[in-house]
């Protein structure tokens, strides 16, 4: 899982400027999204007119199934979408901003709370799924959750689907207790889940499920409105009980999602998301998603030598750099360790650099990368060598950083991971700045004039993919191939999205090229590698995708 040498990664600052060059100004002028998780009463409030016919049929089926299963109507639905990360991979847990969007695909947790005086009240929570053959019904007793710190069994590699619901339930109970909010005891509940996010594809199906479960239990136990940032933070912590050292991007994208907008998600000083509109170019700017059908890294099975190792590499690199350049103690992320963002910000402070323009950012990125290379002169270090750089005994370092989440690694690559993180963070700034500027400049341009903008955005995505493949080592041959095919058929840029080692690619495509790109992917990837796929399976594997709305509590009067 380590790369042998520093590859010639496309440097983020040599991206060609479109003409006329956009001014570098992070899109900070957008109004902040509303603070509270909205309660909606119409499907129109969730889905666009394009998606309404399909979603209406789906919700009809959910209502009917609920009634048939539990002989009573559902009272509310907690709905959270998946997410596609446009750029900014594996940098959220280093506290750098990322640019995801919420998907229209989502997880619906439909609930009926039985009142105490209902003859059917029996202290049980019955949890069913519309895909009942794949996800069998589970029954729990509310008394088992009197202590909110109850254990969720995640032993072995086979995590039951219900564990994600229980993680949300545990989060809701824990946070209600810690925040001493006005809650009622856990009531008898009937629950039916319907998710249409492809699992293990890097689209955050699990985070969407945890978010909607947590919201469902909160809605069943409190009448208070729920703050979006509270839901994000508590979902992140809840998912950790499943062995995921989660960064926070997925939950933020899911909760803060805004239709037709990407989200510039920042984690400091508090988690926040600034919507950046993405559809106002001429021709319109589209995204095509392609699932490699290689299962993305999964925390329970492969996390110990993929995701969890990357988190530790990023933390140790930050701590060692902070020590070497005596920038002072870094702010600790989640009781774990310092972050590369912390180190970067401290260097800027120490040097007295004021940020805000492209040149200053570029200079800071160059300088921090130089320090990384000076500190780590090769790609692999043994644990003993890392501990020595950290000034700790190996066993102390292992105990502190490598036991909280399962890790399997004898060698760590602190150099390439850090360079990826620092350069990727700069690409996020450039990409979001370009997107924001496109809304002001592009509406009036003709198709050919907008091409440099597409090319500039695409070049950043391609540079991100090269860095994920070569420096962060989180791509795989199938994903690399998908990105190459997409570019050959007209995508301006293409990259992996999500945790990686499989999963999906996202490609930036002009609207008039979308059909070509999808056809090219079908012909050159799916027909060759997966000739047995049915038409509908293919439609689910490769499709155009638009940004959708975020988490809502739905009390739909008539579907
Ligand atoms: P997915 O693709 O959902 O497993 C994971 C992390 C993100 C982020 C990305 C990589 C969780 C729940 N999600 O996403 O926070 O770090 O990888 O950019 O841990």
pLDDT digits (tens, 9 = 90+) for 253-296: 999 999 999 999 999 988 999 999 886 777 888 999 999 999 87
- Structure confidence at residue 174 (pLDDT): 85
| Window from 326-330, 365-369, 436-440, 498-502 with minimum mean pLDDT | 436-440
- Structure confidence at residue 151 (pLDDT): 84
- Structure confidence at residue 447 (pLDDT): 62
Pocket test for ligand 1, best of 307, 310, 420, 421 (most atoms within 8 A of CB): 307
Backbone angles phi, psi at 334, to 5 degrees: 50, 45
For 59, residues 6+ apart whose C-beta sits below 8 A from its C-beta are 43, 108, 556, 559
CA of 498 to the centre of ligand 1 (A): 6
Exposed/middle/buried for residue 153 (C-beta within 10 Å: 0-12, 13-18, 19+): exposed
d(CA 81, CA 89): 19
Instruction: Flag whether pLDDT at 408 surpasses 70.
Output: yes
Average pLDDT on 416-426 reads: 98
The conformational region for residue 317 under phi > 0 = left, psi -120 to 50 = alpha, else beta, is alpha
If one compares 7 and 330, the residue with the highest pLDDT of the two is 330
CA of 297 to the centre of ligand 1 (A): 10
Whether 207 lines ligand 1, by a CB cut-off of 6 Å, is yes
Query: What confidence tier does 441 reach under pLDDT thresholds 50, 70, 90?
Result: low
d(CA 360, CA 472): 25
Whether 250 lines ligand 1, by a CB cut-off of 6 Å, is yes
Pocket test for ligand 1, best of 85, 199, 249 (most atoms within 8 A of CB): 249
Task: Assess contact for 108 and 47: CB atoms under 8 A.
Answer: no
Buried b (16+ CB within 10 A) or exposed e, 491-512: bbbbbbbbbbbbbbbbbbbbee
Tokens representing 191?
Answer: 């629950």
For 547, residues 6+ apart whose C-beta sits below 8 A from its C-beta are 101, 102, 103, 257, 258, 259, 260, 261, 262, 278
- Structure confidence at residue 440 (pLDDT): 58
Residue with tokens 């032993």: 155
Atom of ligand 1 minimally distant from the CA of 500 = 2
Task: Assess contact for 291 and 508: CB atoms under 8 A.
Answer: no
Whether 89 lines ligand 1, by a CB cut-off of 6 Å, is yes
Instruction: Flag whether pLDDT at 429 surpasses 80.
Output: yes
Instruction: Flag whether pLDDT at 312 surpasses 90.
Output: yes
Task: Assess contact for 505 and 526: CB atoms under 8 A.
Answer: no
Whether 235 lines ligand 1, by a CB cut-off of 6 Å, is no
Instruction: Flag whether pLDDT at 11 surpasses 50.
Output: no
Whether 499 lines ligand 1, by a CB cut-off of 6 Å, is yes
Query: What confidence tier does 140 reach under pLDDT thresholds 50, 70, 90?
Result: very high
How much of the chain is in helix, strand and coil states, percent to nearest 5?
Answer: 45, 15, 40
CA of 152 to the centre of ligand 1 (A): 21
d(CA 348, CA 362): 12
If one compares 159 and 68, the residue with the highest pLDDT of the two is 68
- Structure confidence at residue 159 (pLDDT): 81
d(CA 546, CA 205): 17
Question: What percent of the chain is modeled with pLDDT above 70?
Answer: 88
Instruction: Flag whether pLDDT at 157 surpasses 70.
Output: no
- Structure confidence at residue 32 (pLDDT): 41
- Structure confidence at residue 27 (pLDDT): 33
Ligand 1: residue whose CA is nearest its atom 3: 204
Residue with tokens 């689910």: 540
Tokens representing 291?
Answer: 């699932």
Q: In the predicted model, what is the mean pLDDT of the chain?
A: 88
Query: What confidence tier does 297 reach under pLDDT thresholds 50, 70, 90?
Result: confident
- Structure confidence at residue 309 (pLDDT): 93
If one compares 360 and 530, the residue with the highest pLDDT of the two is 530
Instruction: Note if 250 is an active site residue.
Output: yes
Question: What percent of the chain is modeled with pLDDT above 90?
Answer: 69
For residue 127, give the 3-state DSSP assignment: strand
d(CA 546, CA 279): 9
Average pLDDT on 353-374 reads: 90
Give the other-Cβ count within 10 Å of 556's Cβ.
Answer: 17
Instruction: Flag whether pLDDT at 22 surpasses 70.
Output: no
Residue among 250, 345, 379, 416 flagged as catalytic: 250
Atom of ligand 1 minimally distant from the CA of 248 = 15
Atom of ligand 1 minimally distant from the CA of 307 = 17
Whether 259 lines ligand 1, by a CB cut-off of 6 Å, is no
Helix ranges (DSSP H) in 292-354 = 307-324, 340-351
d(CA 135, CA 88): 33
Pocket test for ligand 1, best of 91, 420, 498 (most atoms within 8 A of CB): 498
- β-strand pairing of 552-554 with 39-40: parallel
CA of 91 to the centre of ligand 1 (A): 10
Ligand 1: residue whose CA is nearest its atom 11: 246
If one compares 110 and 403, the residue with the highest pLDDT of the two is 110
For 339, residues 6+ apart whose C-beta sits below 8 A from its C-beta are 93, 94, 95, 314, 315, 318, 330, 331, 333
Query: What confidence tier does 476 reach under pLDDT thresholds 50, 70, 90?
Result: very high
Helix ranges (DSSP H) in 202-306 = 205-221, 228-240, 249-256
Exposed/middle/buried for residue 374 (C-beta within 10 Å: 0-12, 13-18, 19+): exposed
pTM of the model: 0.90
Average pLDDT on 510-531 reads: 97
DSSP-assigned letter for residue 113: E
CA of 247 to the centre of ligand 1 (A): 6
Instruction: Flag whether pLDDT at 25 surpasses 80.
Output: no
């Amino acid at each position: 899982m380590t790369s042998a040498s520093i590859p010639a990664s496309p440097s983020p600052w040599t991206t060609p400027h479109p003409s006329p060059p956009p001014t570098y100004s992070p899109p900070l002028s957008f109004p902040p999204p509303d603070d509270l998780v909205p309660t909606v009463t119409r499907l129109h409030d969730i889905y666009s007119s394009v998606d309404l016919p399909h979603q209406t049929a789906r919700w009809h089926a959910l209502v009917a199934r609920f009634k048939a299963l539990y002989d009573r109507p559902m009272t509310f639905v907690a709905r959270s979408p998946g997410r596609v990360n446009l750029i900014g991979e594996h940098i959220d847990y280093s506290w750098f901003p990322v640019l995801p969007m919420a998907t229209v695909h989502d997880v619906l947790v439909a609930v009926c709370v039985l009142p105490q005086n209902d003859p059917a009240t029996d202290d049980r929570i019955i949890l069913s799924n519309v895909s009942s053959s794949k996800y069998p019904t589970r029954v729990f007793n509310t008394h088992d959750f009197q202590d909110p710190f109850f254990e969720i069994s995640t032993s072995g590699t086979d995590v039951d689907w219900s564990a994600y619901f229980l993680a949300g339930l545990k989060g809701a109970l824990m946070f209600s207790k810690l925040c001493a909010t006005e809650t009622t005891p856990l009531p008898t509940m009937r629950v039916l889940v319907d998710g249409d996010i492809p699992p293990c594809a890097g689209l955050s199906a699990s985070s969407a499920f945890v978010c909607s479960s947590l919201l469902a239990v909160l809605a069943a136990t409190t009448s208070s409105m729920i703050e979006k940032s509270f839901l994000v933070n508590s979902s992140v912590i809840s998912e950790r009980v499943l062995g995921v050292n989660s960064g926070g991007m997925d939950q933020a994208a899911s909760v803060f999602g805004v239709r037709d907008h990407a989200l510039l998600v920042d984690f400091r000083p508090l988690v926040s998301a600034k919507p950046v509109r993405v559809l106002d170019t001429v021709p319109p700017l589209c995204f095509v998603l392609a699932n490699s059908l290689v299962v993305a890294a999964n925390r329970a099975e492969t996390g110990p030598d993929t995701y969890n190792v990357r988190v530790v590499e990023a933390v140790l690199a930050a701590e060692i750099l902070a020590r070497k350049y005596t920038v002072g103690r870094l702010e600790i992320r989640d009781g774990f360790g310092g972050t590369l963002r912390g180190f970067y910000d401290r260097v800027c402070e120490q040097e007295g650099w004021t940020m805000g323009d492209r040149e200053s950012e570029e200079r800071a990125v160059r300088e921090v990368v130089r320090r990384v290379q000076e500190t780590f002169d090769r790609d692999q270090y043994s644990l003993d060598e890392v501990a020595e750089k950290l000034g700790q005994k190996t066993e102390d370092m292992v105990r502190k950083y490598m036991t909280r989440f399962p890790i399997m690694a004898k060698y760590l690559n602190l150099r390439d991971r850090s360079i990826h993180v620092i350069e990727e963070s700069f690409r996020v700034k450039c990409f979001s700045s370009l997107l924001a500027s496109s809304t002001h400049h592009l509406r009036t341009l003709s198709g050919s004039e907008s091409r440099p903008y597409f090319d500039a955005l695409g070049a950043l995505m391609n540079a991100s993919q090269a860095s994920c493949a070569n420096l962060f080592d989180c791509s795989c041959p199938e994903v690399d191939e998908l990105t190459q095919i997409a570019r050959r058929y007209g995508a301006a840029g293409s990259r992996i999205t999500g945790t990686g080692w499989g999963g999906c690619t996202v490609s930036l495509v002009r609207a008039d090229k979308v059909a070509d790109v999808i056809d090219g992917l079908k012909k050159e990837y799916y027909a060759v590698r997966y000739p047995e796929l049915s038409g509908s399976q293919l439609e689910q594997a490769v499709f155009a995708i638009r940004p959708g709305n975020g988490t809502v509590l739905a009390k739909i009067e008539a579907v």
